[in-house]
Structure 1
Amino acid sequence: MREKLDRLEHFVNGLRGSGVEVPATHAEVRIASISEPQAGPQDRLANLAGKLRLSETGSTQFIGPSHWEAIIEDLADVKGYFDLEDDPATADDDEALLQSESNVPTMDINFGLMQTYSKQQLLDMLPTKPIMNRLLAAWFNAMDPLRLIVHAPTFQAEYQRFWQQPDLVSTSWLALLYSIGSLGAEVSGESCNDPVTLALAEDMRRLTVHALVACDYAALPPYAVEALLLHIKSSLLKHIDVTRELYLRLGLLTRLCTLAGYHRDPSNNPEISPFKAEMRRRIWWFASKYDILMCYQLGQLSVINQVIVDTAPPSNLSESDLTLAVIPPAKPLTEQTSITTALVFGDLTAIFGEVVYSSYSTLGTAGRDVARLHARLEQARNDRPPQLRMVTLEHSLLEPPELIIGRYILEALHLKSVCILYRRYLGLEGHLKERRHCLNAAEQLVLHQNTLLEAGQPGGLLPQADLWLRRFIHDFIFAAMLLCLQFKTFHATESGTTEHFDSGVRLLLQYACRLWSRIMVTSPKARHALRAIERFVGQEMPCIDAADTTLLRDRSALGFDSSNDHRHHAGSFVSASLVDRVESNAQLVPNAAVPGSLPTMTNDSMSTPLDDPPGLDDIALDGTMHDWDPLFQDLFGAPYHTADDSGDCLGLNG
């Protein structure tokens, strides 16, 4: 055995040399002929980068090139020596026996469960088939692209077999079923504001966790990664925010994905069928993008950008194009399928991740990167397929709502990227061009959201769009904070020269706040920030009538650069919509009795004032309201106190 290990060392050292091929033994040739048929130079390089295993149970495992198992598999004699040793499963059984003899309950470090339900108990607690049918249909018909990580026709066939023989299903598949059911219940409960359905969604979320722990998710059984990703999505729909718990589970998801080799393209292992390979690419695509976006929302750096990845993007194919037998060639992006928008969004998200990463660098080293990233953002916008390029809402009335909203999603991510890229220049002397880039993007982001919020109102062009929009309250808060910060800076340094900026931006943000207040923002922190912005823009707001609507028509009066080539896409339409509302009844009247309150819009199409939703101030927030005082004091001034409702204590009147 020692001689064989010496030969192995000599062989590896030869590979590190000048590139001269070392003659292989007969055993090595036999192994290569089995695992690497007709391997070319690229295939040899791929295998040097690690191996992707497929077990008999369907789980996968990635072994990096530095791991001893990646080398030992190439030597049949040495591998046979280890095969003579005790079966690894025996060691696992011994460890399980030792644990069973302890009186201390076992604990899952990620989910904290000391006791899980058995498979039979999970089956007994499953809702009836008619209820499950309704919940599954609600999710698979939702406008969320994450549904595409589960192939609907294949899942439907598995679902039908499940009801015929429930006992034969795996616990990991039960976890997938519960996660999809929780998503369907959350979507259904939001649409009709049904507390019973929302309570069912919470129960199914908890049962998903029980099923994941019961199936030993760390062993990566089939469907475990999909179930965990959908579970994270279900929790996001509930909280409309990234909690610390979700952030930790996101880290668990990324670790499981790399452990299972999702970051390596499935073509590296010929045992993985083309259908499974395509679904693995979809799972990695969405998991990596969620990692970038969720980490940004929590103010953390994504680790997914540091992973060496060679996984190809998913193919532009619809669900009906994917079969277990043959996968057709990908369609061009100009042909819209169910995943086209997600593919374009994913490419833009990768650039967004680099933008967020660059925002941590200092101004002295960031200039070249900022220009390069801005050029990439503009190029990505220009490279969008024609059907996903931004057009006004009035020019897309006959198109599917999913396509319309997809355009706004892409444009919003582009604008947010520009805001983050140039945010560092606000408040600095000089850098006028950079500040204009940031403020133009922030203004456009608010305008786009106003358009969708108007369209989502009863009788609007996109009914129930507000249920989807409320997830993007954080984008509005980010853009509004930038505009408020710039207004505060101008007001402090150039008093008397920014009247147009003052009135125009305040009018825009006031109207946006009133629209957001109608859709019942559920995130406590977002509600708190929305209230702070309302108070800030509501101070000493002059009465604006039809004579002042030129502020909205002439966008340059807002103090921004009106030469951006994308302003005509939506800004003119949204501005006109807001102008029409002002002119139709001629006046926005501020409530002088309560300092900081928002004006009431009296319009025939909105006879009901745009009041705040009932109980917005009375809804219990997570934690003490003073926990967020430093955040708003940094923007609005040291005397600002969020817990004080009196205008005299806000410190905003001068």
Structure 2
Amino acid sequence: MVADPTDLTSAVDGDSECGSMRVTNSELRYIGSDHWSAILENIADLKDHFNQGERRVTDSIVDYSDSELASGLPPNDHALLLYGCGRASRSEILDALPPRSTVDRYISRYLNQLELVASSVVHGPSFYETFWTNPSEAPIVWIGFLFSMISLAILASRPSDFMHGHGAEQQSIQIDLYREKIVQCLTTGEYTNSGPFVLETLINYIYVEFGIRKDANKDVWFLLALEVNLAMQMGYHRDPQHFPDISPLQGEMRRRIWATVLMSDILISSQMGMPRITKEWQCDTDEPRNLNETDLSETTTSLPQARPETEHTTTLGIIARRRMLAALGKISDITDAAIPIPEKHALKPVWEQFKFSVSSKKRPIQVAGFIRSAGG
């Protein structure tokens, strides 16, 4: 019997110390040896159970309904920015905005309940009010940024926050609508040109796509690659001190945004069992300073000294989490290395970073607002 040349599953599928390769007629995927699924493969008591679950997941992924395929639109569990959605005019996008009172409530929730997310991409006192003066003149990507904040605020809402007793259903419908508007704004604004608010909008959009799933998946990881490459194209990996025309406020926001990019890279890449995208030797951006929003303004001419790390600020959560994930990143670099790193070279920087990060435990980052923000 001649083997079917289209049946690749048995020809390449296999495991090794380097990881595993999963091959089907519709997918070829490498899984690193430190990925949770690869670790489970080595636990004999769970192996059969895991394999059965994996087959069920694979079957559910490829079994799209006829109506979904006929529509030409991506299934709901796919990232819209990767698979596309219908285009919309500027007026259609603006018409999708809720009334101002509702938007105000959502933005307040975003800035206050999602402080860790919000403070990394937006300086609250400098934001928002000018939009309502003349919304028709606002840049289309800025409107996408606004939709991204609304979407995250809705994700942070409880079903009881919605009317008529159908909270979960209303929440899902609104998130689907607004994430579509985010994508329409990004594509209309030609986001690959890296204009103002593009990276902030993309970061929030990836939070949305991550938040509607139980865990990171390949779509989120591909979006992460977009985020990292856009950030580097815009120079976020180089510290603002190299560029004297960048104001103190802009420079500090760039440090916060780059910290967010680094953390997302380490976290999502680790969950996917893949090496992180950013490389330390390519970047020199300092960590953000421990400052409150009121310490900075558009008229600030010099960057204030950092507050003591015994004092809780809107930035302390970003600083602490960046340090902890930097330690995880160094560990991942070792486990992901194709060529083994000698122990004497590998362990010292990891240990130094670990000691540096755990020192934050003495600092007041356990406040309720930070815990809510860290949990999304």
Give how far 1:110 is off: 5.5
Note the 1:371-390 alignment, pairs <5 A: 371-372=347-348, 375-376=351-352, 378-381=354-357, 383-384=359-360, 386-388=362-364
- Compared CA separation, residues 378 and 259, structure 1 to 2 (3 A): closer
1:253 to 227, 231, 235: 227
1:315 to 289, 292, 297: 289
2:151 to 145, 168, 182: 182
Give me the whole-angstrom Cα distance separating, in 1, the residues matched to 2:288 and 2:192. 25
- Compared CA separation, residues 362 and 270, structure 1 to 2 (3 A): closer
Give me the whole-angstrom Cα distance separating, in 2, the residues matched to 1:211 and 1:269. 29
Give how far 1:264 is off: 1.3
Q: Report the secondary structure of 2:212's partner residue.
A: helix
After superposition, the C-alpha distances for 1:552-608 in whole angstroms (9 at most, x for unaligned) are xxxxxxxxxxxxxxxxxxxxxxxxxxxxxxxxxxxxxxxxxxxxxxxxxxxxxxxxx
After superposition, the C-alpha distances for 1:72-113 in whole angstroms (9 at most, x for unaligned) are xxxxxxxxxxxxxxxxxxxxxxxxxxxxxxxxxxxxx95343
Note the 1:29-428 alignment, pairs <5 A: 111-113=82-84, 115-148=86-119, 149-155=121-127, 159-189=128-158, 194-305=168-279, 308-326=282-300, 327-361=303-337, 365=341, 367-369=343-345, 371-372=347-348, 375-376=351-352, 378-381=354-357, 383-384=359-360, 386-388=362-364, 400-402=367-369, 405=371
Where do 5+ consecutive residues of structure 1 fail to align?
1-108, 390-398, 406-464, 472-654
Residues 316 and 331, structure 1, Cα contact 8 Å, conserved in 2:
yes
Note the 1:398-547 alignment, pairs <5 A: 400-402=367-369, 405=371
- Compared CA separation, residues 114 and 340, structure 1 to 2 (3 A): closer
- Compared CA separation, residues 216 and 382, structure 1 to 2 (3 A): closer
Give me the whole-angstrom Cα distance separating, in 1, the residues matched to 2:144 and 2:155. 16
Structure number with higher relative contact order (C-alpha < 8 Å, ≥ 6 residues apart): 2
Give me the whole-angstrom Cα distance separating, in 2, the residues matched to 1:307 and 1:363. 18
After superposition, the C-alpha distances for 1:165-194 in whole angstroms (9 at most, x for unaligned) are 111111011010010010011111467553
- Worse-matched range after superposition: 338-347 or 218-227: 338-347
- Compared CA separation, residues 337 and 225, structure 1 to 2 (3 A): same
Give me the whole-angstrom Cα distance separating, in 2, the residues matched to 1:181 and 1:314. 26
Give how far 1:221 is off: 1.4
Give how far 1:366 is off: 5.0
Aligned length: 289
- Compared CA separation, residues 382 and 279, structure 1 to 2 (3 A): closer
Q: Report the secondary structure of 2:156's partner residue.
A: helix
- Compared CA separation, residues 160 and 361, structure 1 to 2 (3 A): closer
Residues 320 and 357, structure 2, Cα contact 8 Å, conserved in 1:
no
Give me the whole-angstrom Cα distance separating, in 2, the residues matched to 1:305 and 1:191. 44
Give how far 1:306 is off: 5.0
Give how far 1:137 is off: 1.6
Give me the whole-angstrom Cα distance separating, in 2, the residues matched to 1:288 and 1:365. 22
Query: Residue type of the partner of 1:179?
Result: S
Give how far 1:160 is off: 2.6
Give me the whole-angstrom Cα distance separating, in 2, the residues matched to 1:214 and 1:383. 45
Q: Report the secondary structure of 1:141's partner residue.
A: helix
- Compared CA separation, residues 381 and 114, structure 1 to 2 (3 A): closer
- Compared CA separation, residues 363 and 306, structure 1 to 2 (3 A): closer
Give me the whole-angstrom Cα distance separating, in 2, the residues matched to 1:131 and 1:349. 35
Query: Paired residue for 2:70?
Result: none
Give me the whole-angstrom Cα distance separating, in 1, the residues matched to 2:82 and 2:129. 30
Give me the whole-angstrom Cα distance separating, in 1, the residues matched to 2:172 and 2:142. 23
- Compared CA separation, residues 304 and 183, structure 1 to 2 (3 A): same
Q: Supply the RMSD in Å over aligned alpha carbons.
A: 2.7
Query: Residue type of the partner of 2:136?
Result: D
Give me the whole-angstrom Cα distance separating, in 2, the residues matched to 1:230 and 1:175. 10
Give me the whole-angstrom Cα distance separating, in 2, the residues matched to 1:330 and 1:123. 40
Residues 111 and 209, structure 1, Cα contact 8 Å, conserved in 2:
no
Give me the whole-angstrom Cα distance separating, in 1, the residues matched to 2:312 and 2:241. 26
Query: Paired residue for 2:72?
Result: none
Query: Residue type of the partner of 1:242?
Result: A
Residues 81 and 183, structure 2, Cα contact 8 Å, conserved in 1:
no
Residues 139 and 147, structure 1, Cα contact 8 Å, conserved in 2:
yes
Residues 82 and 219, structure 2, Cα contact 8 Å, conserved in 1:
no
Where do 5+ consecutive residues of structure 2 fail to align?
1-79, 162-166
Give me the whole-angstrom Cα distance separating, in 2, the residues matched to 1:231 and 1:308. 26
Residues 292 and 314, structure 2, Cα contact 8 Å, conserved in 1:
yes
Give how far 1:334 is off: 2.2
Query: Residue type of the partner of 2:332?
Result: V
Residues 192 and 230, structure 2, Cα contact 8 Å, conserved in 1:
yes
- Compared CA separation, residues 114 and 362, structure 1 to 2 (3 A): closer
Residues 182 and 201, structure 1, Cα contact 8 Å, conserved in 2:
yes
Q: Report the secondary structure of 2:150's partner residue.
A: helix
Query: Residue type of the partner of 1:127?
Result: P
Give me the whole-angstrom Cα distance separating, in 1, the residues matched to 2:255 and 2:357. 24
Q: Report the secondary structure of 1:384's partner residue.
A: helix
- Compared CA separation, residues 363 and 112, structure 1 to 2 (3 A): closer
Give me the whole-angstrom Cα distance separating, in 1, the residues matched to 2:160 and 2:285. 37
- Compared CA separation, residues 355 and 369, structure 1 to 2 (3 A): farther
After superposition, the C-alpha distances for 1:353-406 in whole angstroms (9 at most, x for unaligned) are 1101111358975533564255325522553262258xxxxxxxxx73235x4x
Residues 263 and 322, structure 2, Cα contact 8 Å, conserved in 1:
yes
Give me the whole-angstrom Cα distance separating, in 1, the residues matched to 2:353 and 2:364. 15
Give how far 1:161 is off: 2.5
Give me the whole-angstrom Cα distance separating, in 1, the residues matched to 2:145 and 2:314. 21
Query: Paired residue for 1:424?
Result: none
Q: Report the secondary structure of 1:383's partner residue.
A: helix
TM-score, length of structure 1 as denominator length:
0.41
Give how far 1:144 is off: 4.7
- Compared CA separation, residues 292 and 165, structure 1 to 2 (3 A): same
Q: Report the secondary structure of 1:206's partner residue.
A: helix
Q: Report the secondary structure of 1:264's partner residue.
A: coil
Q: Report the secondary structure of 2:309's partner residue.
A: coil
Give how far 1:117 is off: 1.1
- Compared CA separation, residues 325 and 204, structure 1 to 2 (3 A): same
Residues 333 and 385, structure 1, Cα contact 8 Å, conserved in 2:
no
Give how far 1:114 is off: 6.6
Give me the whole-angstrom Cα distance separating, in 2, the residues matched to 1:282 and 1:217. 20
